[in-house]
Amino acid sequence: MFEPGSTLKLVPLAAALEERLTKPREVIDCQQGSIALAGHVIHDHKPFGFLTVEQVLAQSSDVGAIKLGLRLGEERLHRYMRDFGFGSKTEIELPGEERGLLESPAHWSGISIGEISMGQEVGVTPLQLVTAYSAIANGGVLYQPRTIQRVFRESDQTPLPPVAGRRLLSERTTGLMKQIFQAVVESGTGAAARLDGYSAAGKTGTAQKIDASGRYSKTSYVSSFVGFAPISRPAVTILVVIDSPVGAIYGAEVAAPVFRSIAEQTLGYLSIPQDNPSRWLQVASRAPAGLLRQTRGNRAGSFPTTSELTGAATSPFLPVSFSRSVAASSQGTVVLDEGPLFKVPQFSHWPLRRVAEECQRLGLELHVNGTGLAVEQKPPPGTRVREGGKVWVRFAR
């Protein structure tokens, strides 16, 4: 059990949208990063001014989340916390599950509504948090998690009955939440969680731990990122929790990159179709213009003829020969050194990322068609070409 921090902002935001108390484009005054509750001042990690509700989550403003919690009021905030499964066991088929910590409003202090809205003064389990975010991924339906898919009795396989699910949020609200969580990854604190080839949605979290004196520590944190991918047809929900990180402390810095690594490998292993292949092409922004281009408008398998290829390079570890040409000038014959020739490698079954990074490193102009793994290329493997040429690669699943 741990205090989740800003990953719990899911609840006040979703509840406020569901109750139609706000809209994603509404502008909230975050008061330069401070708000007073019952004589206590709560500070943001940055002095934010006016932010839209979408930006409140993308930039993880505590003040903005607290203001949404205040609109809900104690009873409604508590009810939505319970509806999302916090404070109760998930009843997964594993021993020793904890309920978490969620007091009733009768036991809240004057600042509890603010603390809970930003993910403190409440204890959750990793499974509760993953289940809650999966409810957004599943269109607003919260399903009971399970570890058992089938029961084997001798030679029979008895499928378990369908997992129980209950409508938690409307499809309208979950559609808005997906867009907002996507903005967190695309332009907010979760930028380090952006995936190559896939869309992703999620939230960062950084929570102070309770020290031996019973106060919030200034040096010990729990840093996390929780999200799902792809957004249109989610396949996985992943939670990364770093207990007491050393050096960098924010979930955006230490947990989001881990989410990216796990998600990319998992989605590839599961052969989940890419829904955002253009993300692969963003390596072009780190290379000279024109080195990486995507072929558009071509039917699958439409490639230039060999005579149209002007040459392409491959690994610098495969030099074959040097080519020289002779040109005439008014001053006589001049020998032009056109550089080394290389063998084009075998790209077959390479992922787009690997092909793109290799071509970028070598300074080639890559034209791609499709997504998945490389299935066809021109020039063919072994062709001797010059640096700075073009490579056409078609990808498929």
Q: Which residues are catalytic?
A: 6
314, 343 contact by CB (below 8 A): yes
For 169-184, the DSSP string reads S-HHHHHHHHHHHHHH
Answer left, alpha or beta for residue 302, where phi above 0 means left and psi between -120 and 50 means alpha: beta
Cα gap 14→114, rounded to integer Å: 16
Give the separation between CA 363 and CA 341, rounded to whole angstroms: 14
- Measured between alpha carbons, how far is 154 from 248 in angstroms, rounded to an integer? 53
Give the contacts of 340 (CB within 8 A, at least 6 positions apart).
319, 320, 321, 322, 323, 386, 387
Q: Please state, in angstroms and rounded to a whole number, the distance separating the CA atoms of residues 285 and 107.
A: 54
Contacts of 369 (CB under 8 A, 6+ apart): 294, 295, 298, 300, 301, 302, 303, 392, 393, 394, 395
| C-alpha to C-alpha distance for 30 and 149, rounded to whole angstroms | 47
DSSP 201-251: EEEEEEEEEE-TTSSEEEEEEEEEEEEEE-SSS--EEEEEEEES-SS---H
